[in-house]
Chain A
Amino acid sequence: MTDSGVQADVLGRLLIIQQTLDAFPDETRIAEFICRALKTVPGVSDVLICIRGRMIPPDVLFQAICAQSERAWDAPGSLDLAAVDRKNNAHYFPLRTAWHLFGLLIVLVADEDMVRPYLGLLGNTANTMGIILSTRMYQAKLAKSNEELRIARDESERLLLNLLPYPIAERLKARPDLSADSIPAVIADSFPEVTVLFADIVEFTRFSAGMSAERLVAVLNEIFTDFDSIADHRGLEKIKTIGDAYMAAAGLPVPAADHAVRVAHMALDMMDALDRFNARSGYRLQLRIGINSGAVVAGVIGTRKFIYDLWGDTVNTASRMESHGVAGRVQVTDATRRRLGEPFLFEERGIIDAKGIGELHTWFLTGRNGAPRPNDARPQH
Protein backbone atom coordinates (compact mmCIF):
# COMPACT_ATOMS: atom_id res chain seq x y z
CA MET A 1 0.00 0.00 0.00
CA THR A 2 1.28 3.51 -0.81
CA ASP A 3 1.33 6.49 1.54
CA SER A 4 -1.87 7.68 -0.04
CA GLY A 5 -3.60 4.44 0.92
CA VAL A 6 -3.74 3.12 -2.62
CA GLN A 7 -3.18 -0.64 -2.93
CA ALA A 8 -0.80 -1.59 -5.73
CA ASP A 9 -3.04 -4.33 -7.13
CA VAL A 10 -6.04 -1.99 -7.24
CA LEU A 11 -3.93 0.65 -8.92
CA GLY A 12 -2.85 -1.97 -11.47
CA ARG A 13 -6.46 -2.90 -12.15
CA LEU A 14 -7.49 0.70 -12.68
CA LEU A 15 -4.63 1.17 -15.12
CA ILE A 16 -5.58 -2.03 -16.96
CA ILE A 17 -9.22 -0.89 -17.09
CA GLN A 18 -8.16 2.35 -18.75
CA GLN A 19 -5.95 0.46 -21.18
CA THR A 20 -8.62 -2.13 -21.97
CA LEU A 21 -11.56 0.22 -22.59
CA ASP A 22 -10.36 1.11 -26.05
CA ALA A 23 -10.35 -2.57 -27.02
CA PHE A 24 -14.16 -2.60 -26.96
CA PRO A 25 -15.96 -1.61 -30.12
CA ASP A 26 -19.02 0.10 -28.65
CA GLU A 27 -20.35 1.95 -25.63
CA THR A 28 -22.53 -0.97 -24.51
CA ARG A 29 -19.56 -3.31 -24.13
CA ILE A 30 -17.47 -0.56 -22.54
CA ALA A 31 -20.24 0.04 -20.00
CA GLU A 32 -20.72 -3.67 -19.30
CA PHE A 33 -17.02 -4.11 -18.71
CA ILE A 34 -16.40 -1.02 -16.64
CA CYS A 35 -19.42 -1.61 -14.39
CA ARG A 36 -18.04 -5.05 -13.53
CA ALA A 37 -14.40 -4.04 -13.32
CA LEU A 38 -14.82 -0.97 -11.09
CA LYS A 39 -16.75 -3.02 -8.55
CA THR A 40 -13.39 -4.55 -7.64
CA VAL A 41 -12.27 -1.19 -6.21
CA PRO A 42 -12.41 -1.32 -2.39
CA GLY A 43 -15.46 0.37 -0.92
CA VAL A 44 -17.43 0.39 -4.17
CA SER A 45 -20.80 -1.39 -4.00
CA ASP A 46 -21.98 -0.81 -7.56
CA VAL A 47 -21.25 1.18 -10.69
CA LEU A 48 -23.76 2.65 -13.12
CA ILE A 49 -23.34 4.50 -16.33
CA CYS A 50 -25.71 7.11 -17.66
CA ILE A 51 -25.27 8.32 -21.21
CA ARG A 52 -27.51 11.09 -22.43
CA GLY A 53 -30.42 9.79 -24.43
CA ARG A 54 -29.74 6.14 -23.64
CA MET A 55 -28.34 3.75 -21.06
CA ILE A 56 -30.20 5.48 -18.24
CA PRO A 57 -30.05 3.26 -15.17
CA PRO A 58 -33.50 1.93 -14.36
CA ASP A 59 -33.23 2.47 -10.64
CA VAL A 60 -35.66 5.14 -9.49
CA LEU A 61 -33.11 6.91 -7.34
CA PHE A 62 -30.73 7.33 -10.21
CA GLN A 63 -33.43 8.31 -12.62
CA ALA A 64 -34.03 11.21 -10.26
CA ILE A 65 -30.34 12.05 -10.20
CA CYS A 66 -30.16 11.93 -13.93
CA ALA A 67 -33.19 14.16 -14.13
CA GLN A 68 -31.40 16.65 -11.93
CA SER A 69 -28.32 16.34 -14.09
CA GLU A 70 -30.44 16.81 -17.19
CA ARG A 71 -30.65 20.53 -16.49
CA ALA A 72 -26.90 20.71 -16.76
CA TRP A 73 -26.37 18.80 -20.01
CA ASP A 74 -25.75 21.91 -22.01
CA ALA A 75 -23.95 23.79 -19.23
CA PRO A 76 -21.78 21.20 -17.53
CA GLY A 77 -20.04 23.77 -15.39
CA SER A 78 -23.27 24.38 -13.51
CA LEU A 79 -23.64 20.78 -12.35
CA ASP A 80 -22.66 20.52 -8.67
CA LEU A 81 -21.71 16.87 -8.62
CA ALA A 82 -20.12 17.17 -5.19
CA ALA A 83 -23.45 18.22 -3.73
CA VAL A 84 -25.14 15.29 -5.39
CA ASP A 85 -22.40 13.03 -4.02
CA ARG A 86 -23.05 14.06 -0.46
CA LYS A 87 -26.77 13.66 -0.84
CA ASN A 88 -26.80 10.23 -2.40
CA ASN A 89 -23.77 8.43 -0.93
CA ALA A 90 -22.30 8.07 -4.38
CA HIS A 91 -19.69 9.67 -6.56
CA TYR A 92 -20.53 11.11 -9.94
CA PHE A 93 -17.88 11.48 -12.57
CA PRO A 94 -18.72 13.40 -15.71
CA LEU A 95 -18.25 11.80 -19.11
CA ARG A 96 -17.48 14.77 -21.29
CA THR A 97 -15.56 16.41 -24.02
CA ALA A 98 -14.15 19.89 -23.52
CA TRP A 99 -17.46 21.36 -24.63
CA HIS A 100 -20.08 18.77 -23.99
CA LEU A 101 -21.26 16.69 -21.06
CA PHE A 102 -22.78 13.51 -22.43
CA GLY A 103 -22.91 11.14 -19.48
CA LEU A 104 -22.11 10.20 -15.94
CA LEU A 105 -20.12 7.41 -14.36
CA ILE A 106 -21.92 6.79 -11.07
CA VAL A 107 -19.99 4.95 -8.35
CA LEU A 108 -22.13 3.76 -5.43
CA VAL A 109 -20.21 3.72 -2.20
CA ALA A 110 -20.43 1.08 0.51
CA ASP A 111 -17.46 2.38 2.50
CA GLU A 112 -16.40 5.98 1.90
CA ASP A 113 -13.09 5.59 3.77
CA MET A 114 -12.07 2.67 1.60
CA VAL A 115 -12.98 4.31 -1.68
CA ARG A 116 -11.52 7.74 -0.87
CA PRO A 117 -7.89 6.94 -1.92
CA TYR A 118 -9.14 5.93 -5.36
CA LEU A 119 -11.37 8.89 -6.18
CA GLY A 120 -8.69 10.60 -8.27
CA LEU A 121 -7.99 7.39 -10.17
CA LEU A 122 -11.72 6.83 -10.71
CA GLY A 123 -11.86 10.35 -12.11
CA ASN A 124 -9.01 9.47 -14.47
CA THR A 125 -10.88 6.36 -15.54
CA ALA A 126 -14.00 8.42 -16.23
CA ASN A 127 -11.91 10.88 -18.25
CA THR A 128 -10.45 8.06 -20.32
CA MET A 129 -13.90 6.59 -20.82
CA GLY A 130 -15.20 10.02 -21.83
CA ILE A 131 -12.44 10.46 -24.41
CA ILE A 132 -12.98 7.00 -25.87
CA LEU A 133 -16.76 7.30 -25.98
CA SER A 134 -16.68 10.78 -27.49
CA THR A 135 -14.15 9.60 -30.08
CA ARG A 136 -16.46 6.70 -30.93
CA MET A 137 -19.41 9.09 -31.20
CA TYR A 138 -17.48 11.36 -33.56
CA GLN A 139 -16.32 8.36 -35.55
CA ALA A 140 -19.93 7.17 -35.83
CA LYS A 141 -21.01 10.66 -36.92
CA LEU A 142 -18.16 10.77 -39.40
CA ALA A 143 -19.10 7.36 -40.78
CA LYS A 144 -22.73 8.51 -41.08
CA SER A 145 -21.66 11.72 -42.82
CA ASN A 146 -19.41 9.79 -45.18
CA GLU A 147 -22.28 7.46 -46.01
CA GLU A 148 -24.58 10.42 -46.67
CA LEU A 149 -21.86 11.96 -48.80
CA ARG A 150 -21.49 8.73 -50.75
CA ILE A 151 -25.24 8.54 -51.36
CA ALA A 152 -25.33 12.19 -52.48
CA ARG A 153 -22.32 11.64 -54.75
CA ASP A 154 -23.90 8.53 -56.29
CA GLU A 155 -27.11 10.48 -56.88
CA SER A 156 -25.29 13.41 -58.50
CA GLU A 157 -23.32 10.99 -60.67
CA ARG A 158 -26.55 9.31 -61.70
CA LEU A 159 -28.00 12.69 -62.61
CA LEU A 160 -24.82 13.67 -64.45
CA LEU A 161 -24.99 10.48 -66.50
CA ASN A 162 -28.56 11.37 -67.44
CA LEU A 163 -27.28 14.67 -68.81
CA LEU A 164 -23.96 13.69 -70.33
CA PRO A 165 -22.46 10.62 -72.00
CA TYR A 166 -20.43 8.45 -69.66
CA PRO A 167 -16.97 9.34 -71.08
CA ILE A 168 -17.78 13.05 -70.91
CA ALA A 169 -18.99 12.73 -67.33
CA GLU A 170 -15.82 10.81 -66.46
CA ARG A 171 -13.67 13.54 -68.00
CA LEU A 172 -15.44 16.14 -65.91
CA LYS A 173 -15.07 14.07 -62.75
CA ALA A 174 -11.37 13.64 -63.44
CA ARG A 175 -10.97 17.42 -63.36
CA PRO A 176 -12.11 18.42 -59.85
CA ASP A 177 -10.60 21.87 -60.49
CA LEU A 178 -13.34 22.58 -63.01
CA SER A 179 -16.52 24.31 -62.10
CA ALA A 180 -19.66 24.19 -64.19
CA ASP A 181 -18.74 27.64 -65.52
CA SER A 182 -15.56 26.37 -67.16
CA ILE A 183 -16.99 23.30 -68.82
CA PRO A 184 -17.43 24.77 -72.33
CA ALA A 185 -13.76 25.62 -72.55
CA VAL A 186 -12.89 22.00 -71.98
CA ILE A 187 -15.43 19.81 -73.80
CA ALA A 188 -15.45 20.44 -77.56
CA ASP A 189 -14.31 17.48 -79.64
CA SER A 190 -14.22 16.94 -83.39
CA PHE A 191 -15.47 13.61 -84.72
CA PRO A 192 -14.77 12.98 -88.42
CA GLU A 193 -17.11 9.99 -88.71
CA VAL A 194 -20.53 9.94 -87.08
CA THR A 195 -24.12 9.40 -88.15
CA VAL A 196 -26.88 11.66 -86.89
CA LEU A 197 -30.59 10.84 -86.70
CA PHE A 198 -33.54 13.18 -86.33
CA ALA A 199 -37.05 11.84 -85.84
CA ASP A 200 -40.33 13.73 -85.65
CA ILE A 201 -43.84 12.56 -84.93
CA VAL A 202 -45.85 13.75 -87.91
CA GLU A 203 -48.51 16.34 -87.16
CA PHE A 204 -48.19 15.75 -83.48
CA THR A 205 -49.40 19.27 -82.75
CA ARG A 206 -52.67 18.60 -84.57
CA PHE A 207 -52.94 15.15 -83.04
CA SER A 208 -52.53 16.53 -79.54
CA ALA A 209 -54.99 19.40 -79.89
CA GLY A 210 -57.65 19.01 -77.25
CA MET A 211 -55.61 16.41 -75.42
CA SER A 212 -54.87 17.13 -71.76
CA ALA A 213 -51.29 18.12 -70.98
CA GLU A 214 -50.93 15.07 -68.73
CA ARG A 215 -52.04 12.68 -71.47
CA LEU A 216 -49.83 14.43 -74.02
CA VAL A 217 -46.77 14.00 -71.82
CA ALA A 218 -47.73 10.40 -71.07
CA VAL A 219 -47.92 9.58 -74.80
CA LEU A 220 -44.58 11.20 -75.57
CA ASN A 221 -43.02 9.56 -72.54
CA GLU A 222 -44.17 6.11 -73.59
CA ILE A 223 -42.87 6.56 -77.15
CA PHE A 224 -39.56 8.15 -76.19
CA THR A 225 -38.93 5.60 -73.48
CA ASP A 226 -39.13 2.94 -76.18
CA PHE A 227 -36.72 4.99 -78.31
CA ASP A 228 -34.29 5.34 -75.39
CA SER A 229 -34.25 1.57 -74.96
CA ILE A 230 -33.58 1.09 -78.65
CA ALA A 231 -30.75 3.65 -78.54
CA ASP A 232 -29.16 1.77 -75.64
CA HIS A 233 -29.61 -1.54 -77.42
CA ARG A 234 -28.20 -0.31 -80.73
CA GLY A 235 -25.32 1.67 -79.23
CA LEU A 236 -26.44 5.23 -79.97
CA GLU A 237 -26.03 8.32 -77.87
CA LYS A 238 -29.33 10.04 -77.29
CA ILE A 239 -28.66 13.75 -77.71
CA LYS A 240 -31.95 15.40 -76.83
CA THR A 241 -35.67 15.67 -77.40
CA ILE A 242 -37.35 18.90 -78.42
CA GLY A 243 -41.10 18.68 -78.14
CA ASP A 244 -42.06 15.69 -80.26
CA ALA A 245 -38.65 15.50 -81.98
CA TYR A 246 -35.95 13.02 -81.03
CA MET A 247 -32.24 13.36 -81.84
CA ALA A 248 -29.56 10.67 -81.51
CA ALA A 249 -26.17 9.86 -82.98
CA ALA A 250 -23.66 7.03 -83.27
CA GLY A 251 -19.89 7.19 -83.40
CA LEU A 252 -19.49 9.54 -80.45
CA PRO A 253 -18.29 10.25 -77.86
CA VAL A 254 -16.59 6.89 -78.42
CA PRO A 255 -15.84 6.45 -82.14
CA ALA A 256 -17.48 3.41 -83.75
CA ALA A 257 -16.69 2.15 -87.25
CA ASP A 258 -20.26 0.87 -87.71
CA HIS A 259 -21.92 4.17 -86.75
CA ALA A 260 -24.13 4.29 -89.86
CA VAL A 261 -25.25 0.69 -89.42
CA ARG A 262 -26.20 1.36 -85.79
CA VAL A 263 -28.31 4.36 -86.77
CA ALA A 264 -30.00 2.48 -89.62
CA HIS A 265 -31.03 -0.29 -87.23
CA MET A 266 -32.21 2.34 -84.75
CA ALA A 267 -34.39 4.03 -87.35
CA LEU A 268 -36.03 0.78 -88.46
CA ASP A 269 -36.54 -0.27 -84.83
CA MET A 270 -38.14 3.10 -84.07
CA MET A 271 -40.61 2.61 -86.89
CA ASP A 272 -41.48 -0.85 -85.53
CA ALA A 273 -41.79 0.53 -81.99
CA LEU A 274 -44.25 3.20 -83.13
CA ASP A 275 -46.28 0.56 -84.99
CA ARG A 276 -46.51 -1.43 -81.74
CA PHE A 277 -47.48 1.72 -79.85
CA ASN A 278 -50.25 2.41 -82.37
CA ALA A 279 -51.49 -1.17 -82.01
CA ARG A 280 -51.59 -0.80 -78.21
CA SER A 281 -53.14 2.66 -78.10
CA GLY A 282 -55.36 2.73 -81.15
CA TYR A 283 -53.63 5.91 -82.36
CA ARG A 284 -52.31 6.22 -85.93
CA LEU A 285 -49.12 8.17 -85.36
CA GLN A 286 -46.35 8.24 -87.94
CA LEU A 287 -42.66 9.01 -87.73
CA ARG A 288 -40.55 10.98 -90.16
CA ILE A 289 -36.86 10.18 -89.82
CA GLY A 290 -33.81 11.79 -91.41
CA ILE A 291 -30.23 10.53 -91.28
CA ASN A 292 -26.89 11.89 -92.41
CA SER A 293 -23.26 10.91 -91.86
CA GLY A 294 -20.07 12.94 -91.67
CA ALA A 295 -18.00 15.12 -89.37
CA VAL A 296 -19.39 16.95 -86.34
CA VAL A 297 -18.17 18.90 -83.36
CA ALA A 298 -19.57 17.62 -80.08
CA GLY A 299 -19.38 19.15 -76.66
CA VAL A 300 -21.03 20.91 -73.78
CA ILE A 301 -21.94 24.58 -73.89
CA GLY A 302 -23.69 26.92 -71.54
CA THR A 303 -23.16 27.41 -67.86
CA ARG A 304 -26.50 26.15 -66.65
CA LYS A 305 -28.63 23.15 -67.56
CA PHE A 306 -25.86 22.12 -69.90
CA ILE A 307 -26.25 19.17 -72.25
CA TYR A 308 -24.04 17.32 -74.65
CA ASP A 309 -24.85 18.64 -78.14
CA LEU A 310 -23.65 18.43 -81.76
CA TRP A 311 -22.83 21.09 -84.33
CA GLY A 312 -21.82 21.24 -87.96
CA ASP A 313 -23.11 20.81 -91.51
CA THR A 314 -23.61 17.10 -90.98
CA VAL A 315 -26.09 17.88 -88.23
CA ASN A 316 -27.91 20.52 -90.27
CA THR A 317 -28.23 18.17 -93.20
CA ALA A 318 -29.55 15.36 -91.02
CA SER A 319 -32.15 17.77 -89.72
CA ARG A 320 -33.14 18.70 -93.29
CA MET A 321 -33.41 15.01 -94.14
CA GLU A 322 -36.09 14.76 -91.49
CA SER A 323 -37.90 18.03 -92.24
CA HIS A 324 -37.90 17.34 -96.00
CA GLY A 325 -38.78 13.70 -95.44
CA VAL A 326 -41.93 11.68 -95.81
CA ALA A 327 -44.29 10.45 -93.13
CA GLY A 328 -43.65 6.84 -92.23
CA ARG A 329 -40.30 6.74 -94.00
CA VAL A 330 -36.57 6.99 -93.22
CA GLN A 331 -34.74 9.37 -95.54
CA VAL A 332 -30.94 9.10 -95.72
CA THR A 333 -28.31 11.05 -97.64
CA ASP A 334 -26.05 9.55 -100.23
CA ALA A 335 -23.25 9.82 -97.68
CA THR A 336 -25.10 7.55 -95.27
CA ARG A 337 -26.25 5.10 -97.94
CA ARG A 338 -22.65 4.60 -99.07
CA ARG A 339 -21.65 3.68 -95.53
CA LEU A 340 -24.51 1.19 -95.13
CA GLY A 341 -24.16 -0.96 -98.24
CA GLU A 342 -25.48 -4.47 -98.70
CA PRO A 343 -27.20 -5.29 -95.41
CA PHE A 344 -29.95 -2.71 -96.02
CA LEU A 345 -32.62 -2.06 -98.62
CA PHE A 346 -33.05 1.36 -100.24
CA GLU A 347 -35.40 3.09 -102.58
CA GLU A 348 -33.96 6.02 -104.46
CA ARG A 349 -35.88 9.21 -103.88
CA GLY A 350 -33.74 11.33 -106.19
CA ILE A 351 -32.66 14.96 -105.88
CA ILE A 352 -34.35 17.21 -103.35
CA ASP A 353 -33.76 20.90 -102.70
CA ALA A 354 -32.99 21.24 -99.01
CA LYS A 355 -33.57 24.68 -97.56
CA GLY A 356 -30.30 26.46 -96.81
CA ILE A 357 -28.26 23.56 -98.14
CA GLY A 358 -29.18 23.09 -101.75
CA GLU A 359 -29.71 19.99 -103.84
CA LEU A 360 -29.21 16.61 -102.22
CA HIS A 361 -29.38 13.09 -103.63
CA THR A 362 -31.42 11.09 -101.10
CA TRP A 363 -32.68 7.60 -100.47
CA PHE A 364 -35.37 5.94 -98.42
CA LEU A 365 -34.14 3.21 -96.12
CA THR A 366 -36.83 0.55 -96.58
CA GLY A 367 -35.56 -2.33 -94.46
CA ARG A 368 -32.88 -4.88 -93.80
CA ASN A 369 -31.80 -7.13 -96.62
CA GLY A 370 -34.29 -10.02 -96.62
CA ALA A 371 -36.66 -8.22 -94.29
CA PRO A 372 -38.25 -5.14 -95.85
CA ARG A 373 -40.58 -3.11 -93.64
CA PRO A 374 -44.23 -3.82 -94.65
CA ASN A 375 -45.25 -0.17 -94.48
CA ASP A 376 -42.51 0.86 -96.86
CA ALA A 377 -44.25 -1.12 -99.62
CA ARG A 378 -46.93 1.57 -99.67
CA PRO A 379 -45.33 4.90 -98.84
CA GLN A 380 -47.52 7.67 -97.44
CA HIS A 381 -46.67 11.22 -98.49
Chain B
Amino acid sequence: MHGHDHQVSLGFSPDLYPAGTHICYLLNDEQEWSRIVPPYIRSGLEGGESVDYFADVSGSDMLDPVFQSIGMAGSSQASTDGFAVALAVAVAMDKYCPDGRFVPERMLSALCDIYDRACAAGFAGARVTGEMTWALRGVPGSERLIEYETQINTMLREHPLTVLCQYDTRKFDGGTIFEVLNVHPMLIVHGQILRNPFYIPSDQSLRAKSGESGGA
Protein backbone atom coordinates (compact mmCIF):
# COMPACT_ATOMS: atom_id res chain seq x y z
CA MET B 1 0.00 0.00 0.00
CA HIS B 2 1.25 3.45 -0.92
CA GLY B 3 0.83 6.72 0.94
CA HIS B 4 0.29 10.30 -0.15
CA ASP B 5 3.42 10.18 -2.27
CA HIS B 6 1.71 7.66 -4.52
CA GLN B 7 0.36 9.40 -7.62
CA VAL B 8 -2.84 8.03 -9.05
CA SER B 9 -4.73 8.51 -12.26
CA LEU B 10 -8.29 9.77 -11.88
CA GLY B 11 -9.18 8.35 -15.27
CA PHE B 12 -10.77 11.47 -16.75
CA SER B 13 -7.62 13.62 -16.74
CA PRO B 14 -4.13 12.93 -18.11
CA ASP B 15 -2.56 14.28 -14.94
CA LEU B 16 -1.71 12.25 -11.87
CA TYR B 17 -2.81 13.32 -8.40
CA PRO B 18 -1.68 12.27 -4.94
CA ALA B 19 -3.54 9.38 -3.38
CA GLY B 20 -5.85 10.78 -0.74
CA THR B 21 -7.17 13.66 -2.86
CA HIS B 22 -10.60 14.89 -1.83
CA ILE B 23 -12.58 16.07 -4.85
CA CYS B 24 -15.93 17.78 -5.22
CA TYR B 25 -17.66 16.99 -8.50
CA LEU B 26 -20.33 19.55 -9.41
CA LEU B 27 -22.58 17.38 -11.48
CA ASN B 28 -25.28 18.73 -13.78
CA ASP B 29 -25.19 16.61 -16.89
CA GLU B 30 -25.49 12.86 -17.33
CA GLN B 31 -23.31 12.75 -20.43
CA GLU B 32 -20.59 14.61 -18.61
CA TRP B 33 -21.03 12.22 -15.64
CA SER B 34 -20.32 9.30 -17.94
CA ARG B 35 -17.04 10.95 -18.95
CA ILE B 36 -16.00 11.44 -15.32
CA VAL B 37 -17.22 8.77 -12.94
CA PRO B 38 -16.89 5.50 -14.90
CA PRO B 39 -13.29 6.36 -15.93
CA TYR B 40 -12.55 7.29 -12.29
CA ILE B 41 -13.75 3.86 -11.17
CA ARG B 42 -12.07 1.96 -13.98
CA SER B 43 -8.73 3.71 -13.55
CA GLY B 44 -8.82 2.82 -9.85
CA LEU B 45 -9.44 -0.83 -10.66
CA GLU B 46 -6.79 -0.84 -13.36
CA GLY B 47 -4.36 0.75 -10.91
CA GLY B 48 -4.90 -2.09 -8.47
CA GLU B 49 -7.01 -0.09 -6.01
CA SER B 50 -10.21 -1.14 -4.33
CA VAL B 51 -13.18 0.98 -5.33
CA ASP B 52 -16.37 1.63 -3.37
CA TYR B 53 -19.34 3.32 -5.04
CA PHE B 54 -22.21 4.61 -2.91
CA ALA B 55 -25.21 5.04 -5.18
CA ASP B 56 -28.23 7.08 -4.11
CA VAL B 57 -30.78 4.51 -5.19
CA SER B 58 -33.82 3.33 -3.29
CA GLY B 59 -32.70 -0.26 -2.71
CA SER B 60 -30.16 -2.93 -3.52
CA ASP B 61 -32.42 -4.21 -6.30
CA MET B 62 -31.58 -0.97 -8.14
CA LEU B 63 -27.83 -1.58 -8.15
CA ASP B 64 -27.60 -3.53 -11.41
CA PRO B 65 -28.39 -0.41 -13.48
CA VAL B 66 -25.69 1.38 -11.49
CA PHE B 67 -23.19 -1.31 -12.45
CA GLN B 68 -24.23 -0.88 -16.06
CA SER B 69 -23.99 2.91 -15.92
CA ILE B 70 -20.42 2.73 -14.65
CA GLY B 71 -19.50 0.40 -17.47
CA MET B 72 -19.56 -2.85 -15.53
CA ALA B 73 -21.77 -5.66 -16.75
CA GLY B 74 -23.02 -6.43 -13.24
CA SER B 75 -21.83 -7.90 -9.98
CA SER B 76 -21.80 -11.51 -11.18
CA GLN B 77 -19.89 -10.76 -14.35
CA ALA B 78 -17.46 -8.50 -12.55
CA SER B 79 -15.88 -11.53 -10.91
CA THR B 80 -14.72 -12.86 -14.28
CA ASP B 81 -12.45 -9.90 -14.92
CA GLY B 82 -10.88 -9.92 -11.47
CA PHE B 83 -12.72 -6.81 -10.22
CA ALA B 84 -15.21 -8.60 -8.00
CA VAL B 85 -13.30 -8.10 -4.78
CA ALA B 86 -12.04 -4.69 -5.81
CA LEU B 87 -15.34 -3.10 -6.76
CA ALA B 88 -18.20 -2.75 -4.32
CA VAL B 89 -21.38 -0.88 -5.15
CA ALA B 90 -23.74 -0.13 -2.28
CA VAL B 91 -26.87 1.86 -1.53
CA ALA B 92 -25.73 5.24 -0.21
CA MET B 93 -28.30 5.35 2.59
CA ASP B 94 -27.15 1.93 3.82
CA LYS B 95 -23.61 3.23 4.09
CA TYR B 96 -24.10 6.79 5.31
CA CYS B 97 -27.15 6.20 7.51
CA PRO B 98 -27.31 2.47 8.38
CA ASP B 99 -29.72 3.09 11.26
CA GLY B 100 -31.59 5.96 9.65
CA ARG B 101 -29.31 8.63 11.13
CA PHE B 102 -26.19 10.22 9.74
CA VAL B 103 -23.31 10.16 12.22
CA PRO B 104 -20.18 11.72 10.67
CA GLU B 105 -17.81 9.96 13.09
CA ARG B 106 -19.26 6.57 12.19
CA MET B 107 -18.96 7.23 8.46
CA LEU B 108 -15.40 8.50 8.84
CA SER B 109 -14.60 5.31 10.71
CA ALA B 110 -16.15 3.30 7.88
CA LEU B 111 -13.95 5.09 5.37
CA CYS B 112 -10.89 4.32 7.49
CA ASP B 113 -11.96 0.66 7.55
CA ILE B 114 -12.26 0.65 3.76
CA TYR B 115 -8.71 1.91 3.48
CA ASP B 116 -7.35 -0.46 6.13
CA ARG B 117 -9.07 -3.47 4.56
CA ALA B 118 -7.70 -2.54 1.15
CA CYS B 119 -4.21 -2.33 2.68
CA ALA B 120 -4.61 -5.70 4.36
CA ALA B 121 -5.82 -7.29 1.11
CA GLY B 122 -2.79 -6.02 -0.75
CA PHE B 123 -4.47 -3.42 -2.94
CA ALA B 124 -2.37 -0.58 -4.27
CA GLY B 125 -4.77 1.92 -2.76
CA ALA B 126 -8.43 2.65 -2.27
CA ARG B 127 -10.89 5.11 -3.70
CA VAL B 128 -14.50 5.85 -3.01
CA THR B 129 -17.15 7.93 -4.69
CA GLY B 130 -20.60 8.78 -3.42
CA GLU B 131 -23.75 10.36 -4.83
CA MET B 132 -24.43 12.93 -2.13
CA THR B 133 -28.10 13.52 -2.85
CA TRP B 134 -28.93 11.17 0.03
CA ALA B 135 -28.22 14.21 2.22
CA LEU B 136 -31.33 15.92 0.82
CA ARG B 137 -33.68 13.27 2.20
CA GLY B 138 -34.00 14.97 5.57
CA VAL B 139 -32.28 12.18 7.47
CA PRO B 140 -31.42 13.17 11.07
CA GLY B 141 -27.76 14.19 11.21
CA SER B 142 -27.57 15.21 7.55
CA GLU B 143 -27.26 18.81 8.72
CA ARG B 144 -23.73 17.78 9.75
CA LEU B 145 -22.76 17.12 6.13
CA ILE B 146 -20.28 20.00 5.85
CA GLU B 147 -18.72 19.10 9.19
CA TYR B 148 -18.28 15.56 7.87
CA GLU B 149 -16.73 16.75 4.62
CA THR B 150 -14.35 18.94 6.61
CA GLN B 151 -13.24 16.03 8.78
CA ILE B 152 -12.59 13.88 5.73
CA ASN B 153 -9.68 16.19 4.95
CA THR B 154 -8.18 15.44 8.37
CA MET B 155 -8.86 11.73 8.09
CA LEU B 156 -7.15 11.51 4.70
CA ARG B 157 -3.82 12.50 6.27
CA GLU B 158 -3.65 9.07 7.93
CA HIS B 159 -5.83 7.10 5.52
CA PRO B 160 -5.05 8.42 2.04
CA LEU B 161 -7.94 7.01 0.06
CA THR B 162 -9.06 9.07 -2.89
CA VAL B 163 -12.55 10.51 -2.44
CA LEU B 164 -14.86 11.86 -5.16
CA CYS B 165 -18.03 13.48 -3.78
CA GLN B 166 -20.74 13.91 -6.41
CA TYR B 167 -22.93 16.96 -5.78
CA ASP B 168 -25.77 17.40 -8.22
CA THR B 169 -26.25 21.14 -8.75
CA ARG B 170 -29.78 20.43 -10.02
CA LYS B 171 -30.70 19.14 -6.57
CA PHE B 172 -28.62 21.10 -4.03
CA ASP B 173 -29.25 24.79 -3.46
CA GLY B 174 -26.56 27.31 -4.38
CA GLY B 175 -25.73 28.18 -0.77
CA THR B 176 -25.02 24.57 0.12
CA ILE B 177 -22.88 24.15 -2.96
CA PHE B 178 -20.84 27.14 -1.83
CA GLU B 179 -20.30 25.55 1.58
CA VAL B 180 -19.39 22.28 -0.09
CA LEU B 181 -16.75 24.12 -2.14
CA ASN B 182 -15.18 25.44 1.05
CA VAL B 183 -14.29 21.94 2.21
CA HIS B 184 -12.97 20.31 -0.96
CA PRO B 185 -9.41 21.08 -2.05
CA MET B 186 -10.13 19.95 -5.60
CA LEU B 187 -13.10 20.71 -7.77
CA ILE B 188 -14.52 19.25 -10.98
CA VAL B 189 -16.66 21.69 -12.91
CA HIS B 190 -17.69 21.25 -16.53
CA GLY B 191 -15.62 18.10 -16.58
CA GLN B 192 -12.39 19.88 -15.68
CA ILE B 193 -10.50 19.28 -12.47
CA LEU B 194 -9.31 22.46 -10.78
CA ARG B 195 -7.55 23.40 -7.61
CA ASN B 196 -10.24 25.03 -5.52
CA PRO B 197 -9.42 28.54 -4.29
CA PHE B 198 -12.49 28.46 -2.04
CA TYR B 199 -11.06 25.56 -0.06
CA ILE B 200 -10.51 26.33 3.60
CA PRO B 201 -8.11 23.83 5.22
CA SER B 202 -9.66 21.63 7.87
CA ASP B 203 -8.23 23.29 10.95
CA GLN B 204 -9.33 26.76 9.83
CA SER B 205 -12.73 25.49 8.81
CA LEU B 206 -13.38 23.69 12.08
CA ARG B 207 -12.26 26.73 14.05
CA ALA B 208 -14.72 28.81 12.09
CA LYS B 209 -17.45 26.20 12.59
CA SER B 210 -16.89 26.06 16.34
CA GLY B 211 -17.95 29.69 16.46
CA GLU B 212 -21.28 28.89 14.81
CA SER B 213 -24.29 27.33 16.42
CA GLY B 214 -25.36 25.06 13.58
CA GLY B 215 -23.95 23.02 10.74
CA ALA B 216 -24.50 23.20 7.00
Contacts and interface: CB of A to CB of B under 8 A. Distances in A.
A23 B169 contact: yes
Contact of B26 (A10, A23, A40): A23
B173 A20 contact: no
Contacts of A289: none
B197 A24 contact: no
Interface in B177-206: 177-179, 181, 187, 189-190, 194-198
Contacts of A40: 198
Nearest to B197: A12
Closest 6 CB pairs of A and B: A32-B174, A33-B174, A12-B197, A36-B178, A29-B174, A13-B197
Interface string A17-53: 0011011110011111111110010000000000000
B28 A19 contact: no
Contacts of B28: 23-25
Tell me the interface secondary structure of chain A in the complex.
helix
Contacts of A16: 181, 187, 189, 194, 196-198
B214 interface: no
A30 B197 contact: no
B174 A24 contact: yes
A9 interface: yes
A22 B190 contact: yes
Contact of B178 (A9, A25, A37): A37
Given A23-B28, A36-B175, A29 B169 contact: yes
Interface in A32-91: 32-37, 40
A125 to B, nearest CB: 14
Interface residues of A, number: 23
30 contacts: A12-B195, A13-B197, A15-B197, A16-B181, A16-B196, A16-B198, A19-B189, A19-B190, A20-B26, A20-B181, A20-B187, A23-B26, A23-B28, A23-B169, A23-B189, A24-B177, A25-B28, A25-B169, A29-B172, A29-B173, A29-B174, A30-B174, A32-B173, A32-B175, A32-B177, A33-B175, A33-B177, A35-B175, A36-B174, A36-B178
Interface centre among B26, B178, B190, by most A CB within 10 Å?
B178
A10 B178 CA distance: 15
B154 to A, nearest CB: 22
B179 to A, nearest CB: 8
Given A20-B26, A23-B169, A33-B178, 9 more contacts: A9-B197, A16-B194, A16-B196, A19-B189, A19-B194, A29-B169, A29-B177, A32-B175, A37-B181
B207 interface: no
B137 interface: no
Nearest to B198: A13
A37 B190 contact: no
A12 B173 CA distance: 22
A365 to B, nearest CB: 59
A30 B174 CA distance: 6
Interface in B10-44: 26, 28
